[in-house]
Homo-oligomer: A and B are copies of this chain.
């Protein structure tokens, strides 16, 4: 398995399994001089943490971040920042029954076929627990971005078929963290929460859609052929487990639009060239145009459901059925929000460095 590293200049390498002793990340390319402490990271990990509300898995993890390197007197030195999070609430007993019966919608089968063996305890490396490292590194990326006046916000815009009404950036900023679903439309959030409870009681799960917005990104970010800002975001977001689609701006509405509707006209506003609309999602030709960067991701329903499902016994090569026990989120979108934000933040820092917007050696 290669590909546990992401980024060109600002790069992260994540490691660890669901039921191993720890998970972690090494950040390479962090500029010197950044004020950083464990609380910066903890804040984001707490948003991703299991057990934060009654719509998430009851697995109890403090997810306490330990910074092992790269800091001196409260500032980054430019050296790699290694962050470790111990796994605490590890219970593999439920998984023994699943050793030979791959769970539909999970990576059990494909890992087994690719590697000839697998860590079957809780999905091993394919578990959502892998995203702890992404979120920890994303916290550092967000801190760098904030110095450059860039903010990244995510929120749930659809869940189980229920759509939130369009929210302003202010509403997203204000409302998202006020409800466990992370929906900026507080009325609809209540319905979404009920939907999640209903799905759980049926032994089922629901999918959803999350929007991620980059605010304050200067014009000129993005390398405009293969490493377009849009292409890097697509890879970053699609690399999150459970994500089955990524769109930018008008996205999948654009196939039914005409050019006269899709094109964002230019105007001059406060001395700057701006667009009247933002169907482009802030990216033209792979380069940011100073409008908000707007992405949406399609998140599939949690594959772990307690309803009976058809599968096969790999050891006997015959068909069988399973019911998945264990502790699972009945819906992924609320907890994927900080992960998706982290991935956008990582892309933005990396691309801003590549374009000369952030000094790769030192901050300030």
Question: Taking the nearest CB of chain B, how far is it from the CB of A261, in angstroms?
Answer: 8
Asked if A280 CB lies within 8 Å of chain B CBs, one says yes
Chain A 305-339 near chain B by CB (<8 Å), digits 1 or 0:
10101111010011100000000000000000000
- Residue of B whose beta carbon sits closest to that of A358: B356
New contact pairs (5) apart from A4-B28, A262-B303, CB-CB < 8 Å: A5-B13, A20-B69, A161-B256, A263-B305, A356-B360
Question: Taking the nearest CB of chain B, how far is it from the CB of A198, in angstroms?
Answer: 10
Say which residue of B227, B257, B359 sits within 8 Å of A3 (CB atoms): B227
Chain A 10-49 near chain B by CB (<8 Å), digits 1 or 0:
1101111100111110101110110000000000000000
Given contacts A104-B266, A115-B78, A255-B207, contact A247 B298 (CB under 8 A): yes
Contact assessment for B266 and A102 in the assembled complex, using a CB-CB cutoff below 8 Å: yes
Contact assessment for A17 and B284 in the assembled complex, using a CB-CB cutoff below 8 Å: no
Question: Taking the nearest CB of chain B, how far is it from the CB of A249, in angstroms?
Answer: 6
Interface residues in A107-152 (C-beta closer than 8 Å to B): 107, 109-111, 113-119, 121, 124-126, 130
Rounded to whole angstroms, the CA-CA distance of A159 and B236 in the bound complex is 28
Question: Taking the nearest CB of chain B, how far is it from the CB of A16, in angstroms?
Answer: 5
List 13 A-B residue pairs with CB atoms under 8 Å apart, sorted by A's residue number.
Answer: A1-B80, A2-B29, A13-B28, A33-B116, A104-B266, A110-B289, A126-B285, A199-B259, A206-B258, A230-B238, A230-B243, A231-B239, A241-B286
Q: Please indicate the chain B residues that have their CB under 8 angstroms from the CB of A266 in the complex.
A: 102, 104, 109, 310-312, 319
Contact assessment for A105 and B280 in the assembled complex, using a CB-CB cutoff below 8 Å: yes
Given contacts A33-B117, A310-B265, contact A356 B359 (CB under 8 A): yes
Contact assessment for B115 and A33 in the assembled complex, using a CB-CB cutoff below 8 Å: yes
Asked if A63 CB lies within 8 Å of chain B CBs, one says no
Asked if A58 CB lies within 8 Å of chain B CBs, one says no
Asked if A292 CB lies within 8 Å of chain B CBs, one says no
Rounded to whole angstroms, the CA-CA distance of A233 and B239 in the bound complex is 10
Question: How many chain copies does the complex carry?
Answer: 4
Asked if A77 CB lies within 8 Å of chain B CBs, one says yes
Contact assessment for B9 and A262 in the assembled complex, using a CB-CB cutoff below 8 Å: no
Q: Please indicate the chain B residues that have their CB under 8 angstroms from the CB of A355 in the complex.
A: 114, 360-361
Rounded to whole angstroms, the CA-CA distance of A228 and B70 in the bound complex is 18
Asked if A52 CB lies within 8 Å of chain B CBs, one says no
Rounded to whole angstroms, the CA-CA distance of A312 and B265 in the bound complex is 9
Asked if A264 CB lies within 8 Å of chain B CBs, one says yes
Rounded to whole angstroms, the CA-CA distance of A260 and B24 in the bound complex is 32
